[in-house]
Structure 1
Amino acid sequence: MKTVKYIFSLCLIVLLINSCVKDDSNTDFVDSAVAPTNVLALFTVSQDNTGSVTITPTAEGAVGFNIFYGDGTVEPANLAQGENTSHTYTEGTYSVIVVAVGPTGLETEITQDLVVSFNPPENMVATAENDAAVSKQVNVTASADNAISFSVDYGDGSELVVGNIGESVSHIYASPGVYTITVVAMGAAIETAEVVITDFEVTEIVQPLQSAPAQPSRSEGDVVSVFSGAYTDITGVDFFPNWGQETTYNLFDLSGDEMLQYANLNYQGIDFSGTPIDVSQMEYLHVDVWTADENNAKLSPISTGPNEAAYDLDLTAQQWTSFDIPLSYFTDQNPLVDLSSIIQFKFDGDPAEGTIFVDNLYFWKAPSGGPTGIVGTWKLSSAAGSLGVGPAVGDNSWWNCDAGCVSDRACFYDDEYIFNADGSFSNVLGSETWVETWQGGGNACGTPTAPHDGSNPATYVYDASAGTVTLNGLGAFLAVPKAINGSEIADIADTPTSITYNVTLSNFDTEMSVYIEVGPDIFWQYEFVKDGATVTSPLTGTWQLSTDAGSLGVGPAPGDNSWWNCDAVCVGDRACYYDDQYVFGADGSFSNVLGSETWVEPWQGGGDACGTPVAPHDGSSVATYDLDLGAGTLTLNGVGAYIGLAKAVNNTELTDPLDAPESIVYDITIIDSNTINVMVDVGDSVFWQYKLVKI
């Protein structure tokens, strides 16, 4: 006998009609409290003509419920989250009221009509259709008079699926093919109605319906792109060289977004040997791959020689899978792979069949020195107060756009301000933006007005040292078009051809504060966020102490390690220590990876020699890091996490491992994307200093 699986809120056997929702907010409670949401009443009726109905309320953020049966019963049922109540009805239509109560007392009330009928279902209609977005998923909808639920036998041996009449239920088949689907409608009566859908063909989605994930803005010097619409690709690339493969090739176009399609994949090359590329300064290889199959693939960069190394692409069917592969992986697998002369890629099917779609194939590195600069697409932050005016920088008390204003100006907050790597600038406003009276509008959403409509070409000059950006082009602007240097425009004819703004970039160049002085002590101020940006710490990756003589030392001042430093002989003696790794994760995690040996000092129970790492300074603890570029500090959080010497902590040197602090704050200087200097003051002008390099 098949088990019955109830899904969705439609577990029941009841007609739901004319829902109405009301929020009862008690302002005596804290401002952050919210009333319960997504309140539902789930009805289950017995198929025995008794009229016994079970009511199960659910809600997000509720701790209890009051159920009013709607049949004249005075006292409501009081339920905790997860409980239900049963009640016997005669034939008829009832308005059941469910009041969900939150932990602070805020309430949300809904009313759902419950129709109880003892007549058998009739006039039944059932339909089945393949889901447009999910491969091999079939959605079934059923309607019938006097019915309150229906069950579906999908004809593949799976469990029955039950839902409320008038709603849809879904099932994903293991394989495409032709199936018989049986749909049974049920009401409060014992009798049922049935529709059989024969020869229904279940289809499989064999190509992506959505583009690969949007790529972050990167400076030109931080990326070498072979195939990506997000960056400038190299030239002279053959995406289907004749290597005797059985693979077929197609440049697939998804609504204007092109991607590489390789079908019947046994192996496939991408060749640019006529113009080898030097990626020795890059750090990662990125690729996005979509497949309809359960198959995997391998990707190999090939250098002159030829020399290659393969990376296993563990793919997930029916979705894009993104990979950022450290280039060190390939050189570790095959030291002969020459990153300064990459000439080809090769994809291998695993197994040698199936189809893959490839997009965003490029090499990249962390932004030089950390920031990505102003290049990218920016929008005004939707946070309250991100737009305003006031008497001083940081003070927008005269007027600022609060939450209600942000909502009213949705047509304005989706405007894009695009700084391209080639120095061009664009205002992209869409069909509507906020149009003020001086522009001929009504202080409301409306069609953008020339010249502030993005129709004129424009450029920009960003001066990072001065903290300014100048827009050159009639009608080019940031945020508020009337706000210009020394004035506010009252007539479109007065639009200047150039405006200079003061800008401050932060959070690894994903946030930008802007102000412009339009008159004596009158400052318009804006907060922008970079659209689609990924916050990437310049520390992300694996670091080691530099093996240069003097990269580890101590002295009386920053930059002075004259008291003691590790010379070339010392570096050789401490090889077990200089291979220790300091791993900074993109997610903010930190790890000391010491291997089987490191340098163990007497205070740790060692003999100033190579030995087994000693807890808690053995990498066993969970740790995180915080980098503050503005303050020039690096904080490690986690007992036993450290850089350089375990004993060197803030204001002291440890003499017992049990005294290891929960956090250490280091001073840090980022020399370039592969070199940092780290220092800690252990007290009394004693500075331990380390030079680390990224591997």
Structure 2
Amino acid sequence: MKNNTIHIMLRFNIMPFLMLISFLVSALFTSCVQEDDIPPVSAYVEPPPPEPGENIIEAPVFSEVPVDFETSNPEFESFGELNGDVIITVVENPVSGGINTSGKVVEVKYLAGTQPWAGFFFDLAEKVDFSVNRTIKIKVYSPEVGQNITLKLEDKEDANIKNEKSELTTVANEWEELSFVFSPGDDAKFDRAVLFFNFLGDKDADTTHYFDDIVLVEGDGSGGGPAGEPTVGAPAPILTEADVISIYSDAYAGTSSAATVDMFVTDWSVLASQTEALIGGNNTLVYSELNFAGIITETSPIDASGMEFFHVDVWTSDVSTFKIKFVDFNGTGYNNNTDNIEFEVENAIDPAGEWISLDIPLSDFVGVPFSDINQMVISAVPAGTTVFLDNLYFWKQPAEFNNLPVNFDNSSLTYNWTGFGDPGFGPIPTAIIANPDPSGINITTNVLEIQKPVGSQVWAGASMPVFNPIDFANNGTTLTIKVWSPRAGVPILFKTEDPSSPPDGNGNPSVFAEVIATTTKANQWEELSFDMTSFAGFSTSINYENIIIFPDFGNVGQGETFYFDDIEFASIKFPINLETSSLTYTWSGFGDPGFGPIPTAIISNPDPSGINTSGTVLEVQKPAGSQVWAGAAMPLDAPIDFTYGTTVKIKVWSPRAGVPILFKTEDPSSPPDGNGNPSVFVEVIGTTNTANGWEEVTFDLTSFGSFSTSIEYENVIVFPDFGSTGQGETFYFDDFILTN
């Protein structure tokens, strides 16, 4: 208060003085302006030049002129520091020699405790021109061999417009040049560069890297012409051989669906050459400088009249239109082409530089009966360009689709899981095998095996396409997977992708959703839940069609094997573990002293010990005087599937040993009995052996005389201390499973 009073007094007393000063300053300023409107030349002083050896800050341009950091450098901005730091500095070249004798380089220091994905970015003066030159080369100095150096290009106004490429260092403690190959589709999109050194690797200790001389060069980096070859194989087919007639595909080679092809290029074709290349483990047809080429099946003409579509995967860097013609000899042979039936379909190729999957309805080939196909003709616009082809086959809609749920026991489906991320960036072993541990919650016949060999990438895993988009809108947004892990505490990442979205820098779809769940058990089956809404970019309107599993995500492979089964939408079904937050477990109590409901609730586990350390359990209170038949019931979302066994096991916590627990399940569609309850049911009693601790109580449903696996039981009911009047006790239940 005292200070405020003084300020008010001062403001009041000096006001006339301030007005006088203001008048004098105004007059002086006016006079100066009138006399000195144009200052003399000597008044201008050039800004001082940089100190010798000092760089200026300037956004670079990626071009054929190297960005060499000798006189200027961009403004660097780091991210992912966490408990460490990322320090980027222009320094004198500490190891001048070999391929890099320049004076200055950029030093990148990671201090211990940074995120595995820590890095930095800098803006460019203009968008990168990939119309002719498509390879960015960077000189790198790394302390270790095999470190992941990732270059990511972005639009600085929209980070969703991006592409990233990764290369591994091949030498330690010396300079080498790494090449990052982009495509024509990347032209004029990116004006920000992001760099990651030892991307996703351990950052537990201080490390130092250097880089220099960023240059944009021609084609694939060797100066030998425009980039024009895929680095990954075409997508693997998912149809069974029964629904396919294959002209060319490793997936169907040697099967009954493989057609006999006389030749993949005729003598009347116009092109430079036709060869076969191994790309991403797939044999691939290569048509160089293609104008048009004929494929002949005259020895055994193809009858595709029972098929509905023709599929082909096309990769080209410079073809805008790809044409396909089929020639049906109409049952009379070539016959001088007098009664042959043919029709050509044009297909736009956009974008170039990535695999395009074409599925063309046979009805588009107007008038062709497809009962006597002897020739197929392919052509390219513009002519004289190179085309890569794979998976040429006719197909029809299968009677059964490879969609969710996926349980690996349907012999009519082909489960095409593809592993990736081994120590050499190749595939890790995956297979559908006999269940190695048919016990607990999973006694089904077949499961998915994923091996993660020693040294596998932190992102190693396996993927499979599904036939139709996953219907999250109508089936819920949480998925469950049964998992068998050799250790508890292992992070399992589930990812799903929209395969039609533009590829990211690694060639993967850029639209996806991914969620991590962690195993809680070792060497036994458990069910993990993945709430897809926890991923910010998830939407039920997106057509997710690829499913991917990453065992022990974020960690280098330790030579372990994981098993997976029953990938399906979460629902109220066996097993019931009460842990899926997106589900509502509607248990209803009944049988209190006044014939009303007894208290039931899903609560936090009051005794997370022994065999049950899970988070939530079912609490059933049986107040004093409650009916001898008091209990709690819950409906299931579907009838019980006894494929998993006919014995129910429930974890029970009872205040006393020797307490009878009745388990009952009902067919709610059966006629009501005298009390209004379903008349078709099965009920079995088990008895507790432990007081004030968790135990597993077993209920063999086959011990009930009228039990049948053909009956659709959908209600589950538990009766604590069945047959005795309530004594004011509380019971807990968890992990209802079906087994044998």
Range of TM-score over shorter length:
0.3 to 0.5
Task: Select the structure that is richer in strand.
Answer: 1
TM superposition score normalised by structure 1: 0.34
Name which structure has the greater RCO, CA cutoff 8 Å, separation 6+. Answer: 2
Greater gyration radius? 2
